[in-house]
Amino acid sequence: MGEGELVGYFKLKHDIQNDSELPLARAEVESSIGAGVEEVRNAADVLVDELRFLMDRRLRIHDRICWHPYPGALEGFLTRGLEPSPELLEAIRRLSYFREVYLAWERDDDSPAEDMRLRPGAGGSEVSLDPLTTLYRLEGGRCLRVVPDQAAYEFSDFVCRLARDDSDVERMFRAGLRHLRVGVKRAYSAESARLFKTIEDFMDDRRAPQLYLTHWFFGIRGKFFPRMIRAAMNLMGLREGDLVLDPFTGCGTLNVEASLMGIRSVGVEVNPLLAMVSRVKVRALGADPSEVSKLISRVEEELRSRPAADRRSLEEALSRLPERLASRVRRGSLAVVVRVLEISQSVGDPDLSDFLKVPLAYWMRSMLTKQAPEKAISTYLDHLKRMWFALRFLQLYRENVRPIEPAKAEVIRGDSTRLREVLRQVPGELRGPFDGVVTSPPYLAAIDYVGNQLYSLYVLGLTSDHLAVDRETLGSMRGSRSREWSESALDSLPEDVRDFLLWLRPGRPKMSAALLRYFLGVLRVFKEIGEVLRPGGRVTWVIGAEQVMRVRGEGRRLPVADWMTELASQVGLEPEVRFDVHLAKSSERGAIPTESLVVLRKP
């Protein structure tokens, strides 16, 4: 370490799932800071070889650096010769895979911190600049410890699950922040312990939180892992004010993360239920928690005073359901759901009205087919309350850590195979050209995106024919017919894809037609992306690396990520790098154990 040289140690989160995520973490940090890094197998190596002056027995920074590391092949990354600047500090705060970052320099002055527009002031060996940033003054040097924002956002997942009221949210928020700041030398409870666990115990668990802040509202099978998507935007070089697109927005994970990072976004989703939920998630980031609290109190009061809709409204709701769905419905519970919808429709603000519908969307099938009316009411109100907990957590973060101004986000319903036409619905400044695209298309026919939400689609009045939604959903079996097959259309697909479809056709004609439509649709989406992406812009395409399909007892391994790369190449998108992350995600039709992130570039 040269005298005065700024050295950075980037400590990985302890709850990274496995070593396959480490290349993505490395790419994220290198792109974010604009410098190469070295792998660190054990933080003690850094302390002994590079940063010995940090081993001060009074401040004991080395306890923090070595405490609770990721237990895999690496504990972090090291880099030297960083240039202190506000941009460096902001890049560190945006990181995804890192629990904390240490910036150290062997010089008895605070100028590097001041160059980052921090104001440490005079005096004190340990100066808290904000709840997530601390300056340590040691003999012979200085150390700045920074906890990235997402490390603090993530424990809101546990807060939303555990809290019972506002006081619990505030208490756990403050305890969690303190734990991020000073939580070392603490024996945490075993994962198997069921009683007397604290928020710190959940934060120290090896299971990574996925449903923090408004991600908590609603999820679907095969959804994005938010940590991974934030890392993807960082490695793509997206910055505050940039514009990113997700043409298969699902339940809005990309849009939420982009808004939190100050990146403007547009999401396009063919499923009207998922489009509604995604809009609620991103718009709720800017909602006033006190107004939402008043609304929830009003809803609870009206439900308690009149918990069920009248007979006429109930019969109208039943008439909108297909017979096979209506036959399974508990009429008393449907009357509760219809009453909630009446209350939501009486709210003047359409965003707040949709906010009230999200718990119904999440629990609809269970409420209507399994729950008694009293249980349906308690389930609804409990979920609604926990949605508010997420907003209250974000409010506390703004008040106690730093202000967050969510970037503009628009989510629209539409077919991404006609992307340029669909984008006419959004305000002019959001129509492109886009600086980047991050998306995950449907997983072939592995997940039934429409069938899983039938009750919600009909009861919320989002469709009168779910088959029409199916027909617009790429990979849907119900939306396809075996006669929808064209030998000539195969010519536009890569040779390996053509061979697979011809192999599949005799044994599973309907499936082959559905997958032909799927691959042709993906090719059209790639073409549309190429038209709206700026030159030099990047695409991160997230898809299961491969799937296995069986016909008449014969199995065939499908290298889906390879095929996607070939399709993208056909329209001029150049592959740059690919990360294979072993997440053991499950679908209804079997495991998809490896997720591929394929990064492409428009010349």
Give burial (CB, 10 Å; 0-12/13-18/19+) of 81. exposed
CB atoms near residue 424 (< 10 Å):
10
Least confident segment among 172-176, 226-230, 377-381, 464-468: 464-468
Stated pTM of the model = 0.94
Nearest to 555 by CA among 487, 593, 494, 507: 507
Kindly give the residue spans of alpha helices, DSSP state H, lying in 183-252.
Answer: 199-203, 226-235
In the predicted model, is pLDDT for residue 386 greater than 80? yes
Q: Write the DSSP symbol of residue 155.
A: T
Average the pLDDT over each of 166-170, 339-343, 466-470 and give the range with the smallest value.
466-470
* Rounded Cα distance, 351 and 153, in Å: 23
Give the SS3 label for residue 597.
strand
pLDDT for the residue numbered 191 = 62
Task: Give the per-residue pLDDT at 447.
Answer: 73
More confident residue, 437 or 474: 437
Give the pLDDT confidence score for residue 598 in this predicted structure. 97
pLDDT in tens, 365-376: 999 999 999 999
What is the residue whose two structure tokens read 């919320």? Answer: 460
Residue 272 CA to residue 274 CA, distance in Å, equals 6
Q: What is the mean pLDDT of residues 423-434?
A: 94
The whole-angstrom distance between residue 83's C-alpha and the CA centroid of its chain comes to 31
Q: Where are the beta strands (DSSP E) in 85-132?
A: 98-105, 126-130
Q: Is the pLDDT of residue 555 over 90?
A: no
Window from 130-134, 173-177, 179-183, 195-199 with minimum mean pLDDT: 195-199
Give the per-residue pLDDT at 3: 67
For residue 21, is pLDDT > 90?
yes
Choice among 72-86, 276-290, 470-484 with the minimum mean pLDDT: 470-484
588 pLDDT above the threshold of 50: no
Helix, strand and coil percent figures for the chain, each rounded to 5 = 45, 20, 35
Strands 98-105 and 141-146: antiparallel
Residue 195: per-residue pLDDT: 59
Mean pLDDT of 508-530: 93
Percentage with pLDDT > 70 across the chain: 96
The pair of three-digit structure tokens given for residue 259, joined into one six-digit string: 């808004």
Q: Quote the mean pLDDT of the chain.
A: 92
**What is the percentage of the chain residues whose pLDDT exceeds 90?**
78
Is residue 587 very low, low, confident or very high in pLDDT (cuts 50, 70, 90)?
very low
